[in-house]
Amino acid sequence: MMLESFVAMMALIAATLLDPGVYFAINSGLAAVGGSAEAAVATISSWGPVYAVTVDQMAQLAKEMGESTLFARTGGAPSLAVGMAKIFSSAFGENLLAMWNHYAIMFEAVFILTTLDAGTRVGRFMVQDLLGHIYKPLGVTSSYPSTILASALIVGGWGYFLYIGVIDPNGGINILWPLFGISNQMLAAIALTVATGILVKQGKLKFAWVTGAPLAWLAIVTTTASYEKLFSDDAKVSFLKGANVLAEKLASGALPAAEAASAPARIFNQRLDAALTVFFVVVLWIVIIDMLRICSRVLSGKPVLPSSEAPYESNVAGTVAAPAGAAEVRA
């Protein structure tokens, strides 16, 4: 999470280094600002003097970055790469702009892939743990059949969103990304919840604020964001509102033929995201409330289930590693 926050800070800094007009030319789809480069710069420049941008300016920037074009390169990665390239080139030479641009793109791609890889493995363990309550052998993480089944379920889930992104570019990543943000922060909050519970159970209440404070912040922010994604009156923010507005347009025949063909899938995806958002928030608060219940029992001296964490072992000179269940022995 610290690394992700660092990347987010780099993205914000990189964005501030770009001219506003250039930033929006990179991050706006041509369908939103015009069907061509000329129409896009005209639309963006009409927003005010600070947004002024020209086709020649964008062409020159693309040439410096080693790209054929920078128009409509939405998603955040291209503008981050251009901003980072400008930062690095100011220190190591303007003739390396193209190299730094592609280095930044590779860095972000690898970062996303490792995040997806870690998320897939964590998801597999969670699915195996869940299935283990239904049929115990499915919860054995060393079992090949269990591992293959759980992996197939998780990868199939990713594959569904990739498929939707292929058949409908407006319904793939645009639908998945907000949900990814919510689930990502939920995982961090659950990790902090577990860590807080462990500290309290170990009798280290005075250190519980170290994980408890960021947990409170994440829980509040994630829950608030989830509420907005569910119940906001803005169709561009709320999954449910967006789905309802799109359904009304489809029913009234107000959508062009191309959009009408993909509208049912987009409506289903937004409502699916809404259901998953509710599920994520409910799971998060169940974990938090159970942690508070356990902490309350510990602080009141009531019995709780024993911890299963491995005992602390030290290799510091003069300290002998303690066997499982034994206290640390000092020479």
78, 33 contact by CB (below 8 A) = no
According to DSSP H, which parts of 65-140 are helical? 77-92, 97-134
Distances (CA, A) of 175 to 5, 74, 241, 249: 22, 14, 14, 19
Q: Which residues contact 16 (CB under 8 A, 6 or more apart)?
A: 83
Do 180 and 67 fall into the same domain?
A: no
Instruction: Decide which of 40, 75, 108 is a domain's last residue.
Output: 108
> Do 191 and 281 fall within a single domain?
yes
The encoded tokens of residue 14 equal 């990189």
Could you tell me if residue 114 is inside a domain?
no
Structure tokens at 159: 């594959």
pLDDT of residue 256: 86
83 and 192 part of one domain: no
- For helices 97-134 and 144-167, the axis angle rounded to 10 degrees is 130
- 282 φ, ψ to 5°? -60, -45
DSSP designation for 36: S
User: Pick from 81, 108, 135: which residue ends a domain?
Assistant: 108
In a domain, 191, yes or no: yes
Range of the domain at 177: 168-299
Whether residue 206 is found in the same domain as residue 294: yes
Claim to verify: residue 174 and residue 282 sit in the same structural domain? yes
Residues 275 and 193 in one domain: yes
Is 125 part of a structural domain of the chain?
Answer: no
Per-residue pLDDT of the chain (331 residues; tens, 9 = 90+): 667 677 778 878 888 888 999 999 998 887 778 888 899 999 999 999 999 999 999 999 999 999 999 988 887 788 888 988 888 887 777 778 899 888 888 887 787 777 778 878 888 988 998 899 899 988 888 889 999 999 999 999 888 777 776 766 555 666 677 777 788 888 889 999 999 999 999 899 999 999 999 999 999 999 999 999 999 999 888 999 999 999 999 999 888 887 788 788 788 888 988 999 999 999 999 999 999 999 999 999 998 887 766 666 766 555 444 444 444 433 3
The predicted model scores a pTM of 0.64
Write down the pLDDT at residue 172: 60
Residues 62 and 173 in one domain: no
Q: Are residues 13 and 99 in the same domain?
A: yes
C-alpha to C-alpha distance for 252 and 258, rounded to whole angstroms: 15
Whether 272 is covered by a domain: the verdict is yes
Which tokens sit at 266?
Answer: 């987009």
The total of structural domains in the chain comes to 2
